[in-house]
Every structure is written in structure tokens, then in C-alpha cells.
């Protein structure tokens, strides 16, 4: 069963890397193949191994694990924002983070308006944490006895399995790898699967909310551009009318 798991995992990662290298337009869109042909049997084998190793125990729904997952998820996300928005203006970053996390927001309304996508994000968190943290990382640590290298190796596999990892700017790829290492370290230190699932879900939800804010900002920028263009046209019209009146005045005199 372990051999089958590693075979499916490396095939899944290999298909993901192939898609990264070829590009979305050139590749024959293997998303459905990855999801149904590889990820589904990979998850089934991972669940079998997780049950055998006791990873899916009653502690899975621990209230303390859920609360710690929320706390760790928001701390990791705040650290990620600081890394990807690195600048000399530290006060500006901290002020922006305070407004982002503690200012007025429409998170609840945004999440409620998209139940399907939000459930899909939660489902991805569960699937990926079972595969990579509960099974792959645990098996690798047991086989090698090297915790640090095992956490890093699984984090690399986890990162390569995401389509955006090799396409984003270098700082974002480094941040994502660090995020994967943080999840692996949390799971090793706590042994709580629900903690890393919740932290992963927080990250996914916050990224979805950020995309919402980006779309709103882009719409506002377009609206401002249209308003500015209209105002410029109206100024041109007024100046032309004044010039026309001036010409008429000189004609009458």
C-alpha cells in the first residue's frame, strides 16, 4: 500500500510539473485527469494508511486544535503578507495589516455569496493535508528518521503540486514553500491534523477574500478612469464654448 501511495504521489506531482513546464495553453488541460485519475485514488490510499496509523482518531475534531488552527492560520497569513509586500516602510506594512485584519470587512458576506467555491477550498485543504502531512510526511519521517529533511521534502512536493508555484515571482514561490514548511512543522510538533487543516483553510479563504478586494479595486480604478475621462471631455467642451463666444463677440464688434 505504501508503494502504491508513493507511486501515485510522484505521478501526481510529475503531471503537475509537466503542466507547469508546458503551460496551460500548450498542455491538453490535465486537470480532470489529475483530479479523477490520480488525486482520487491517491486520496483513497492515503485515507487507508491514515486510518491504519491512527491519524483519523476522535481528536480530529478537538476544539483546541480548531482554535489553534485559526490562530496559526492568521499568523502565517500575516507573515506571508509581510514577506510578499517586503518594503522599507515597516510601519506602513503594520498599518496595512491592522486595517486588513481588524478594519471593517465584508468577509462573511463574500464567503456566504460563494458557498460552492468556499466549500471547494475547504475540501482541497482536507485532501491535501491528509495526503501530504498525515501520510507522506509521517511515512517519510518513519522511513528516514530525519525530521527536518522529511518536512522540507514533503513541502517541496506539496509546492510543486500547485500550478502557480513555478509561474509566480520568486518571492511568492519562496513564501509558498515557507508556508508549506510551516504547516509540516506544525503537524510534526502538535500531531493535530485538524490544526493544519484549519490553518490551510484560513489561508485559502483569505486568498479568496484578497482576490475579491483586488477585483473591487480594479473596478474602482476603471470607474475613476471613466469619470476622469468624462470630466476632461466636459472641460474641453466648456473651453471650446468660451472660445466660441469670444469669437462671436469679436465678430460683432
Mean pLDDT, consecutive 10-residue stretches, the chain (253 aa), reads 91 83 54 72 92 80 91 90 72 74 76 85 93 95 93 94 80 91 95 94 89 77 63 49 38 33
- Taking alpha carbons only, the member of 207, 55, 20 closest to residue 120 is 207
Find cell 509566480 and name the residue.
Answer: 168
Looking at residue 28, what is its pLDDT? Answer: 45
What does pTM read for this prediction?
Answer: 0.81
C-alpha cell at 46: 492515503
* Spatial distance between the Cα atoms of 225 and 191, rounded to a whole number of angstroms: 52
Beta strands in 94-215 (DSSP E): none
Radius of gyration of the chain (CA): 26
Q: How high is the pLDDT of residue 73?
A: 93
CA–centroid distance for 208 within its chain: 7
Q: Which residue do the cell numbers 503551460 mark?
A: 23
The pLDDT of residue 229:
60
Grid coordinates representing 82 are 509581510
Q: What is the model's pLDDT at position 70?
A: 94
Give the pLDDT confidence score for residue 32 in this predicted structure: 64
Amino acid at each position: 500500500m505504501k508503494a502504491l501511495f508513493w507511486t501515485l504521489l510522484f505521478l501526481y506531482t510529475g503531471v503537475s510539473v509537466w503542466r507547469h513546464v508546458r503551460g496551460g495553453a500548450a498542455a491538453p488541460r490535465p486537470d480532470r485527469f489529475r483530479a479523477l485519475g490520480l488525486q482520487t485514488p491517491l486520496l483513497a490510499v492515503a485515507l487507508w494508511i491514515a486510518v491504519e496509523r491512527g491519524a483519523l482518531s476522535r481528536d480530529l475534531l478537538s476544539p483546541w486544535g480548531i482554535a489553534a488552527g485559526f490562530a496559526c492560520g492568521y499568523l502565517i497569513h500575516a507573515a506571508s503578507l509581510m514577506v510578499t509586500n517586503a518594503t522599507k516602510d515597516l510601519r506602513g506594512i503594520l498599518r496595512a495589516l491592522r486595517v486588513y485584519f481588524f478594519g471593517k470587512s465584508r468577509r462573511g458576506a463574500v464567503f456566504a455569496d460563494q458557498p460552492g467555491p468556499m466549500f471547494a477550498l475547504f475540501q482541497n485543504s482536507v485532501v491535501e493535508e491528509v495526503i501530504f502531512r498525515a501520510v507522506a510526511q509521517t511515512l517519510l519521517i518513519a522511513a528516514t528518521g530525519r525530521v527536518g529533511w522529511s518536512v522540507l521534502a514533503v513541502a517541496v512536493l506539496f509546492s510543486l503540486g500547485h500550478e502557480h508555484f513555478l509561474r509566480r515571482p520568486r518571492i511568492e514561490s519562496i513564501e509558498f514553500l515557507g508556508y508549506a514548511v510551516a504547516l509540516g512543522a506544525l503537524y510534526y510538533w502538535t500531531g493535530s491534523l485538524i490544526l493544519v487543516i484549519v490553518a490551510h483553510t484560513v489561508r485559502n479563504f483569505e486568498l479568496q477574500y484578497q482576490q475579491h478586494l483586488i477585483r473591487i479595486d480594479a473596478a474602482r480604478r476603471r470607474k475613476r478612469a471613466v469619470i476622469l475621462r468624462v470630466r476632461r471631455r466636459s472641460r474641453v467642451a466648456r473651453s471650446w464654448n468660451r472660445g466660441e463666444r469670444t469669437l462671436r463677440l469679436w465678430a460683432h464688434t
